[in-house]
Structure 1
Amino acid sequence: MPSWKDLRGFCENDGWELYKETDSYYYRKFMPDGSIKRTKVSKGTGETKGHLWKTILKKQLQVTQEYFNSKI
């Protein structure tokens, strides 16, 4: 499973905007169709857990695992 650091690296390499930083990093990406993708990245050092990672990948990032891996 990817780490939180990997997720942050993906967001930075894939053109996501860091729009808020508190106890976590908050990223968003404006899409050509006018929609906005959003994700929250923990400042923790561990890995994302299985079910949580699948939810982030599918519902927030909306990319394949292969695409994610190519951007980290």
Structure 2
Amino acid sequence: MPPKFGHLKKYCDKTGWILIRDIDHWYYEKVLANGDVLRTRVSHAVSKEIPGNLWKKILRHQLKITEEEFWKSL
């Protein structure tokens, strides 16, 4: 089951992501130890479920973690 946008925001807040903008979405950034910069954005609709295909893209391309790692971090 995909998480809600509120879960994604909580993940970002708990795992060292920096909130860089709060306009139409929350925009987060994280610099990894190797210098890579990850970016993601989170909808303000925190109670809305993230569609499955979008969730897979967020995990793979933005967070660069597995779903298991995501849930363990909350």
Q: TM-score range by the shorter chain?
A: over 0.9
Q: Return the offset for 1:23.
A: 1.2
State the identity as a percent.
Answer: 38
Aligned: 1:16 with 2:21: no
Q: 5+ unaligned residues in a row in structure 1: which ranges? A: none
**Which residue does 2:40 correspond to in 1?**
39
2:23 partner amino acid = T
Distance 1:14 1:55 in 2: 19
Distance 1:30 1:9 in 2: 18
Distance 1:11 1:38 in 2: 10
RMSD value, Cα: 0.6
Q: 5+ unaligned residues in a row in structure 2: which ranges? A: none
TM-score (norm 1): 0.96
Superposed structure 1 runs of 4+ greater than 6 Å apart: none
Distance 1:62 1:34 in 2: 14
TM-score (norm 2): 0.94
Candidates 54, 57, 69, aligned match of 2:56: 54
Candidates 47, 69, 72, aligned match of 1:70: 72
